[in-house]
Structures are given as structure tokens and as C-alpha cells.
Amino acid sequence: MSKQVRKAVLPVAGLGTRFLPVTKTIPKEMLPVLSKPLIQYAVEEALSAGIEEILFVHARGKESIEDYFDYAPDVEIRLQESGKKDVLEEIRAIVPEAGKYAFVRQLNPKGFGHAVLCARAWIGCEPFAVILPDDLVMSDTPAIAQMIEAYDISMGNMPALLNVPKEETNRYGIINPVSSGDHHKLIKAKGIVEKPHPDSTPSSLAVLGRYILHPEIFTALSNQQPGVGGEIQLTDALDAMIPAYGLTGMVIEGHRFDCGSVEGMVAAQVAFSLKEPKLASKVKLLINPWL
């Protein structure tokens, strides 16, 4: 088994019901933060971390994601004719080298764990990253790059972690920590549970949408019974693998925006615009009356 993390899986099959009616025709992953869709932020994060190949696990109605990473001859001709070479180069840069991106359809909506299982044939026998585009992380070092750097220490399954208010634990997978490891950001876990009630949660350390997974996760997912919501939960498979492979979470440096929610998307728009030199001063003037 290769120890190098070369591949990333991006599950993009969700319906995006919290953004209806716009997601009736537009995949939620194509919703923009400033001028780029969420899916592009996820791809750029993967590539900046040294990921070589990306698999999109999508569903019916998500064809625009494939089109986004393809050439657009009509648009390119117009940009060429109008002399907008900078924009032309920008949109051409989105298109990958042949064979670097692949797409597989999740035929049945059986949950996040099932979406990961759909990548089994493509991954083979090597560790891999999983990135959820809904979770947008603003950080100096991309979140998945932080995890890949630390993976040599843990070599087991590794979810990204953040501390959440206790009353919100029923929205996340929560780890049951053993102790901090030699690396102060790494936390070994003796268990992990999906969406526990705040009164019975083992901690406030929540899993966000970044993982590095051992390929044996596919065997665990294949044997996994439906869990919370009647779906195949990745959390349950990770818990089952702890005795043999361990589980070490990593507290990520940076600020996470839950762009699967309207309020999280609004917060991301403001935060990213304030970091954009051409926009920051104008945005401050716009929002000042409401502060």
C-alpha cells in the first residue's frame, strides 16, 4: 500500500435543500463565493496540497459540474476577440490535464458513507483524501495540506476537527478522545459517534468535511448497516475500524464556513470579500450602516 496521498474524492451528490429554490436547477457546489463556485475552492485546495487526481461523486442533475471543468469554445472565442486575455487564461486554467479528473454517479442516495464507497474501484489500495465543498476553510495553509503533512505521524484514519458549542454536537460526528499525541494538534480517539445529543456527547470535538482515509474503509463501509437517518454513515465505519487501524483527529488551523447553510454562505461572502484588496474598502462601506 502506498503511503503517499495522491487522490482526493469530492462527494457532490447532495440535493442542497437548504438553498431551494435556487438549487432546483443549480448544484449547491456551483453556488459562488465571490466569483468562484464552491467546487473550485475545493479543487484548488486539493491541488495546492499536491493531490494529483480527483474523483467527483455526483448525481443526476449535476452535469454542470462536469461542464465547468471542460473547455467552453464559445466563451473563449468571445474573450479572444474582445482582447480579454487575462480572463481567457483564467478560465483555461480550470481545465485539467487529460485523465486527472474523473466522475462517477451515486445512483442511490444512501448517505455520505455510500458516496465514499462509490470511489472504491477508482482509489484502489492507497490512502486518499475526502473534501466536502460545503465546508470552506479560510487558512494560510490549506486544510487538507495540513492533514497530509501530519498523516505520516498517524498513518490511520484521520478526520479534521474543530471545537463546537456543546448544544450543536447533534449536528456533527463527534470523537471520544483518548489524549493528545506527540503533535499537539493530533488527538487520538477511542470512539466516534454521529450526531450525539448534547446531554450524552463524548466531547465537543466535531468532525468537519476533511478526511484522510485508509483504503480498508471500503471494506468497513461495505459491511456497514444503515445508521442515523437510515443512511450509510462514514462515522460508523470509522468507529468500527478503530481497533485495527486507529483514529486520530487533527484540529485544523483556520476558520471554517458552513456553506451548506445560508448563514454560513453569507458569512463566507463577507469574510472573503474583506480579504480581497479590490473589494475590502467598498464592502466595509456597504456593511457599515448595519454594524
Range with the lowest mean pLDDT among 35-44, 148-157, 169-178, 197-206? 148-157
Using pLDDT thresholds of 50, 70 and 90, give the confidence band for residue 2. Answer: very low
The stretch 152-165 carries a mean pLDDT of: 86
pLDDT mean over 258-279: 93
Q: Kindly indicate the confidence band of residue 3, based on its pLDDT and cuts at 50, 70 and 90.
A: low
Question: Which residue carries 456593511 as its cell?
Answer: 287
Residue 89 within any structural domain of the chain: yes
Span 87-95, average pLDDT: 92
Instruction: Give me 240's grid cell.
Output: 468500527
User: Quick one: average pLDDT of 27-41?
Assistant: 95
Look at residue 2 and tell me if it is in a domain.
Answer: no
pTM: 0.92
pLDDT of residue 117: 96
Can you tell me the mean pLDDT for 249-253? Answer: 93
Q: Provide mean pLDDT across the span 68-90.
A: 93
Cell of 31: 453556488
Which pLDDT score is estimated for 205?
A: 93
Q: What is the pLDDT of residue 1?
A: 45
pLDDT for residue 121 is more than 70 = yes
Q: Is 269 part of a structural domain of the chain?
A: no
Is residue 1 domain-resident?
A: no
**In this predicted model, what pLDDT tens digit does every residue of 175-234 receive, in sequence order?**
999 864 444 688 999 999 999 999 999 999 999 999 999 999 999 999 988 888 888 899
Q: Please state the rounded mean pLDDT for residues 106-111.
A: 88
Answer yes or no: is 281 within a domain. no
- The whole-angstrom separation of Cα 193 and Cα 176 is 8
Rounded CA separation 274/287 (Å): 11
Residue 193, H or E segment:
strand 186-194
> How many domains, the chain?
1
Q: Is residue 242 part of a domain?
A: yes
How high is the pLDDT of residue 14? 87
72: three-class secondary structure by DSSP: coil
Q: What's the pLDDT score for residue 61?
A: 87
Looking at residue 33, its pLDDT comes to 96
148: domain CATH number is: 3.90.550.10
Q: Say if 287 falls within a structural domain.
A: no
In a domain, 248, yes or no: yes
Higher pLDDT, 153 or 62: 62
Q: Over the chain, what is the mean pLDDT? A: 91
pLDDT of 127 higher than 80: yes
DSSP conformational letter for 287 = H
CA-based Rg of the chain, rounded to a whole angstrom? 20
Give residue 208's domain range.
7-260
